[in-house]
Amino acid sequence: MIPFSLKRIYQNTLKGTEKKRSRVCGATFRHKLKLKKHMRSHRGELIYPCTLCDLSFKTSGILQTHLRAHTKERPFNCDICEKSYVSRMVLKNHKRIHEDKKDWKCEICNKRFLSQYNVLLHVHIHGDAKPFACTQCPAKFKQKNGLKNHKVVHETTKRFICQVCGKAFGRKHDFALHASMYSGKKRFNCSI
């Protein structure tokens, strides 16, 4: 005969092996607490905080992917070009470049894209709105990438230095434009 206290432990252990199922997505869990936490993610609650910054996430998986941005870990490698990524999903999207599957099209100019997200980013160029504003000056941009490229102007470290006049530039492109002034080459020819 099993002593009373051991019997209770044994019964509680058996209870824990019954799988609990999410009514929303059907995922199963051995422990009721894990199911409760999972159900909170369905409600959009950000219950997984990053210990390295102020962001929080819906799921532990998204948090793990985010943490790789801090650690610079990129465990998912492209077998074609050797580039590496923080998640399988980002790698999968990248591989579409090699397949040249541009299934999404801009309805305004008919330019084709690899994803619907890229079309949404592109559509801004057709309008007058400039939703991406610099926090350090009045400059505004139609696309996020334009703002990203602009921010280099405000950096204190200017890596590209002209050997002729000593002027420094934050962007290689700006330096190249400046340097062409000394080369004698005309970058733009008049067609008239």
Domain count, the chain: 2
Contacts of 27 (CB under 8 A, 6+ apart): 21, 38
Task: Tell me what pLDDT residue 107 has.
Answer: 92
Residues of the chain above pLDDT 90, percent: 11
40 is a domain residue: no
pTM of the complete model: 0.43
Is 7 domain-assigned?
A: no
Handedness of CA 116, 120, 122, 127 (dihedral sign): positive
Residue 192's pLDDT is 67
Give every CB contact of residue 91 below 8 A, 6+ residues apart in sequence.
76, 77, 78, 85
CATH of the domain at 83: 3.30.160.60
70 has a pLDDT exceeding 80? yes
Distance of CA 67 to the CA centre of its chain: 12
Q: If you average pLDDT over residues 63-75, what whole number do you get?
A: 90
pLDDT value at position 13?
52
What is the model's pLDDT at position 158?
A: 78
Q: Is the pLDDT reported for residue 111 higher than 80?
A: yes
Q: Which residues contact 182 (CB under 8 A, 6 or more apart)?
A: 162, 164
CA nearest neighbour of 73 among 59, 90, 60, 57: 90
pLDDT band at 7 (very low <50, low <70, confident <90, very high): low
Distances (CA, A) of 135 to 46, 79, 121, 141: 27, 39, 20, 12
- The per-residue pLDDT of the chain, averaged, comes to 81
Question: How confident is the model at residue 17, as a pLDDT?
Answer: 56
Inside any domain, residue 126: no
Q: Report which of 85, 91, 34 is spatially closest to residue 60, judged by C-alpha positions.
A: 34
Asked whether residue 32 is assigned to any structural domain, the reply reads: no
**pLDDT for the residue numbered 32:** 84
Q: Is residue 4 part of a domain?
A: no
Question: Pick the residue with more confidence: 141 or 22?
Answer: 141
Residue 178: domain span: 132-183
Q: Is residue 37 part of a domain?
A: no
Please identify which residue in the block is written with the tokens 């219950």: 47
Q: Is 153 among the domain residues?
A: yes
Assess if residue 67 is contained within a domain.
Answer: yes
- 1/56: higher pLDDT: 56
- Tell me which of 139 and 124 has the higher pLDDT: 139
